[in-house]
């Protein structure tokens, strides 16, 4: 079985991590956990992009050497991933020796086969975006992306023959429409390629102007352009050019996850780079939307960046992860407000899931002295309906997760949660207890405990901490981390007497 290889982009170390960075990593971590739950081996890569003129300027402003500045910011990303319970398999930095070796080998190969050449660049350059622009693309001397001032530059550089591969890329994309997702991003890329002639990509900077970068192996006067350098991380992390066996065991990547603002680099530059290097294409590039605040994209210049630590400390880690994954269909832009966050918390987590956990365990404590009554069948039609819905949950969640439909997967899980809650109201277990209907009450408690066990396994990739707490309160003596999805196909899984623990609120309601 091939290892499922999934990546985030490398995050640029020009500032502290924010909700946008955390969104991509929470999504990737959730997907990695789900793949493992489904019995797959997984290689989850993330990291930091640390070269370029912008980093040099930020380091100077901070009174540090670029390497020291990069070290300081890279740690901030690692600390946030730890706070978010992100279980990545590798964290790569573009300043690492293993990456630098790969970049140099790639450059030498491209140079020898004639895909690189020396040329004169004259045009406009945006330092914050690390991007060259043609005169027709700028407006009033401002970058079309970040709307900051661009500088006019004239210099000798090395160029990559991007234009040589335009027809190949267009043909490849038309033959592989699922390569770029969602479909709106695929259509954007096709339209761009059909209506624009690709310009050869300037992939170096003169060392006299910028010293902070990987030195070009065949020109001591140049360093590598930050984007060309960074994109190669996806193959440097799995040992391209260094360990053939390891590379073949991991490549091609199954999914590159990234924000839509860097789609062109990943959907145009990256496939062409791989084609020129003779490396197989990844299976999918998925460009998700942005989180907007009052209708605007977050940016340092606008001062509207949301701090993940504030939200985690105030509302809890699992509610933060849940909101990001549930609030909007993955791929679309999402609008963030604290009021919406609180509403989603109280409605879904406190009222639905938290209430089901608390009531189920409390009733087992009260009616059966804390021991789940073991059954091998249920006779009531309403319980049979809950049994069927719970057993079908595996395939429904699986179908959505392999299509990266996180919100829809959670919606399926919540249907079972809501069914169980409604069943409690319809069956009125307090009346069964009062009327000494012990068998009927036992069947209900068992059905609720089993459905809750299944729900707990299903939510584990999304909210691992909360799932672990529920699992512990249920008293199930199996390792949740080693549980596999196929176990939730079975409804009568609990065979031995299990003692629940005292219930503790998982999601206390937020007072507004």
CA–CA distance from 503 to each of 165, 336, 496 (Å)? Answer: 62, 32, 21
* Chain centroid to CA 474: 30
Query: Using CA atoms, how far apart are residues 106 and 85, in angstroms rounded to an integer?
Result: 34
For helices 355-368 and 464-474, what crossing angle results, to 10°? 10
CB-side neighbour CA atoms (13 Å) of 493: 23
Across 295-314, average pLDDT: 79
Q: In the beta sheet, which residues pair with residue 157? A: 119
- How high does pLDDT run on average in the chain? 93
pLDDT above 70 (res 492) = no
Q: Are 24 and 257 in contact (CB under 8 A)?
A: yes
Domain ranges for the chain, please list them. 337-489
pLDDT tens digits along 471-491: 999 998 888 887 876 666 666
Across 318-332, average pLDDT: 96
Across 342-370, average pLDDT: 96
Query: Using CA atoms, how far apart are residues 101 and 106, in angstroms rounded to an integer?
Result: 9
Query: Using CA atoms, how far apart are residues 42 and 356, in angstroms rounded to an integer?
Result: 32
pLDDT above 90 (res 307) = no
pLDDT above 90 (res 140) = no
pLDDT of residue 1: 64
pLDDT of residue 497: 82
Residue with tokens 């030498």: 108
pLDDT of residue 301: 63
Query: Using CA atoms, how far apart are residues 369 and 407, in angstroms rounded to an integer?
Result: 38
Query: Using CA atoms, how far apart are residues 380 and 426, in angstroms rounded to an integer?
Result: 12
pLDDT above 80 (res 304) = no
For residue 192, count CB atoms less than 10 angstroms from its CB and return exposed for 0-12, middle for 13-18, buried for 19 or more. middle
pLDDT above 80 (res 297) = no
pLDDT above 80 (res 227) = yes
What band does 340 get if pLDDT is binned at 50, 70 and 90? Answer: very high
pLDDT above 80 (res 204) = yes
pLDDT tens digits along 39-77: 999 999 999 999 998 899 999 999 999 999 999 999 999
Query: Using CA atoms, how far apart are residues 177 and 173, in angstroms rounded to an integer?
Result: 6
CA–CA distance from 105 to each of 108, 109, 115, 236 (Å)? Answer: 5, 6, 14, 10
Strands 151-160 and 201-202 turn out to be antiparallel
CA–CA distance from 17 to each of 13, 48, 305, 382 (Å)? Answer: 8, 11, 9, 48
For helices 166-175 and 183-195, what crossing angle results, to 10°? 150
pLDDT of residue 486: 67
pLDDT of residue 512: 79
Sheet holding 255-259, edge to edge: 90-93, 42-49, 4-12, 255-259, 285-288, 180-181
Token pair in block for residue 95:
């300043």
pLDDT of residue 253: 98
Closest CA to 411 of 426, 425, 393: 393
What band does 246 get if pLDDT is binned at 50, 70 and 90? Answer: very high
CB-side neighbour CA atoms (13 Å) of 248: 3
pLDDT above 90 (res 432) = yes
Fold designation for 337-489: Isoleucyl-tRNA Synthetase; Domain 1 (1.10.730)
pLDDT of residue 300: 64
Query: Using CA atoms, how far apart are residues 260 and 258, in angstroms rounded to an integer?
Result: 7
pLDDT above 90 (res 122) = no
| pTM for this predicted structure | 0.93
What band does 133 get if pLDDT is binned at 50, 70 and 90? Answer: confident
Closest CA to 384 of 426, 443, 452: 443
pLDDT tens digits along 87-113: 999 999 999 999 999 999 999 999 999
pLDDT tens digits along 388-406: 999 899 999 999 999 999 9
Query: Using CA atoms, how far apart are residues 22 and 85, in angstroms rounded to an integer?
Result: 11
pLDDT of residue 145: 80
């Amino acid at each position: 079985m091939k290892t499922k290889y999934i990546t985030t982009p490398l995050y640029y170390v020009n500032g502290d991590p924010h909700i946008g960075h955390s969104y991509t990593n929470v999504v990737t971590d959730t997907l990695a956990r789900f793949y493992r739950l489904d019995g797959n081996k997984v290689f989850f890569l993330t990291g930091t992009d640390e070269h370029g003129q912008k980093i040099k300027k930020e380091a100077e402003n901070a009174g540090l050497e670029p390497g020291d500045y990069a070290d300081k910011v890279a740690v901030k990303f690692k600390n946030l991933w730890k706070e978010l319970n992100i279980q990545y398999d590798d964290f790569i930095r573009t300043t690492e020796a293993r990456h630098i070796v790969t970049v140099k080998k790639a450059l030498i190969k491209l140079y020898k086969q004639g895909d690189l050449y020396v040329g004169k660049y004259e045009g406009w350059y945006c330092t914050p975006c690390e991007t060259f622009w043609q005169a027709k693309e700028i407006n009033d001397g401002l970058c079309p992306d970040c709307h900051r001032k661009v500088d006019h530059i004239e210099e000798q550089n090395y160029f990559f023959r991007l234009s040589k591969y335009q027809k190949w890329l267009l043909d490849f994309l038309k033959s592989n429409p699922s390569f770029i997702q969602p479909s709106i991003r695929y259509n954007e890329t096709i339209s761009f390629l059909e209506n624009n002639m690709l310009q050869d990509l300037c992939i170096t900077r003169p060392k006299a102007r910028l010293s902070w970068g990987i030195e070009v192996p065949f020109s001591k006067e140049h360093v590598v352009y930050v984007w060309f350098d960074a994109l190669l991380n996806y193959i440097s992390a799995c040992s391209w050019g260094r360990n053939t066996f390891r590379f073949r065991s991991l490549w091609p990547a199954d999914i590159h996850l990234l924000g839509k603002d860097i789609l062109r680099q990943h959907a145009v530059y990256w496939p062409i780079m791989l084609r020129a290097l003779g490396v197989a294409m990844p299976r999918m590039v998925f460009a998700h939307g942005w989180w907007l605040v009052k209708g605007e994209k977050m940016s340092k210049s606008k001062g509207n960046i949301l701090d993940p630590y504030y939200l985690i400390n105030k509302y809890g880690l699992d509610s933060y992860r849940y909101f990001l994954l549930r609030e909007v269909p993955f791929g679309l832009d999402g609008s963030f407000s604290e009021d919406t966050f609180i509403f989603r918390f109280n409605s879904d987590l406190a009222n639905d899931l938290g209430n089901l956990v608390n009531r189920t365990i409390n009733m087992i404590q009260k009616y059966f002295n804390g021991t789940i009554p073991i059954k091998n069948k249920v006779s009531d039609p309403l319980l049979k309906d809950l049994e069927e819905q719970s057993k079908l949950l595996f395939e429904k969640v699986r179908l959505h997760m392999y299509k990266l439909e996180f919100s829809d997967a959670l919606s399926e899980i919540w249907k079972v949660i809501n069914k169980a809650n409604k069943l409690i109201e319809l069956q009125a277990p307090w009346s069964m207890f009062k009327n000494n209907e012990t068998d009927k009450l036992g069947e209900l408690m068992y059905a609720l405990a089993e459905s809750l066990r299944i729900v707990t396994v299903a939510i584990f990739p999304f909210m691992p901490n909360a799932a672990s707490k529920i699992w512990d309160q249920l008293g199930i003596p199996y390792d949740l981390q080693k549980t596999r999805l196929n176990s939730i196909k079975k409804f009568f899984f609990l065979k031995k007497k299990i003692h629940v623990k005292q219930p503790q609120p998982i999601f206390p309601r937020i007072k507004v």
